[in-house]
Amino acid sequence: MIDTILIVCEGNICRSPMAGGLLAHELPRARITSAGLGALVGRKADTIAIELMAERGIDISGHIASALSLQDVRAAQLVLTMTLEQRRRIEATYSFVKGKVYRLGEHEGLDVLDPYRRGRAAFEMSLAQIERSVSRWLEAMIPLVH
């Protein structure tokens, strides 16, 4: 049973908070956390990310960026990154995670676009990729989280 999922992006203010919000909404019994490889520690989620998620009835306004730590990686049963490069960096740093770290877009073979400082259209495109990818993961995970 998977009940602890870690979502990782770069700054932890755009993609991972949105993906985490979607997963937490769909898997209320699971513990969903997020972190960044180059986190803008202490910053809130990007305003556009907060707005887009609010439009979907999901509140991420309380999110505060944090840096990826050994404790985060150890606690997670599944680690989802936004890019293949992020996955490789995590596996190189924490060799014990091999087999539990994947790209969020693994099923589609895609890296999720980083919308940081690129405007609402980029955020909408990124969120569309995240929503599709989260749906695919949920299809695969539902038997494992109930």
Selecting among 9, 72, 87, 103, the annotated active-site residue is: 9
pTM: predicted TM-score of the whole model, two decimal places: 0.93
- Look up 14 and say whether it is catalytic: no
76 Rama sector, left if φ>0, alpha if ψ -120 to 50, beta otherwise: beta
Q: Which two tokens stand for residue 76?
A: 């997670």
- Look up 29 and say whether it is catalytic: no
- Top CATH class of 4-145 equals alpha beta
- Find the length of the chain: 146
Q: How far apart are CA 45 and CA 18, in angstroms?
A: 9
- Per-residue pLDDT 10s for the chain (146 aa) are 688 999 999 999 999 999 999 999 999 999 999 999 999 999 999 999 999 999 999 999 999 999 999 999 999 999 999 999 999 999 999 999 989 999 999 999 999 999 999 999 999 999 999 999 999 998 887 655 44
Sequence ranges of the domains in the chain: 4-145
- Look up 88 and say whether it is catalytic: no
Nearest to 37 by CA among 62, 63, 61, 16: 16
Selecting among 3, 89, 114, 136, the annotated active-site residue is: 114
Selecting among 14, 15, 72, 103, the annotated active-site residue is: 15
Q: How far apart are CA 139 and CA 92, in angstroms?
A: 29
Q: Is the separation of the CB atoms in 135 and 23 below 8 Å?
A: no
CA–CA distances in Å: residue 10 to residues 2, 27, 29, 56, 58: 24, 24, 26, 23, 22
Give the contacts of 67 (CB within 8 A, at least 6 positions apart): 12, 35, 36, 37, 39, 41
Q: Is the separation of the CB atoms in 17 and 43 below 8 Å?
A: no
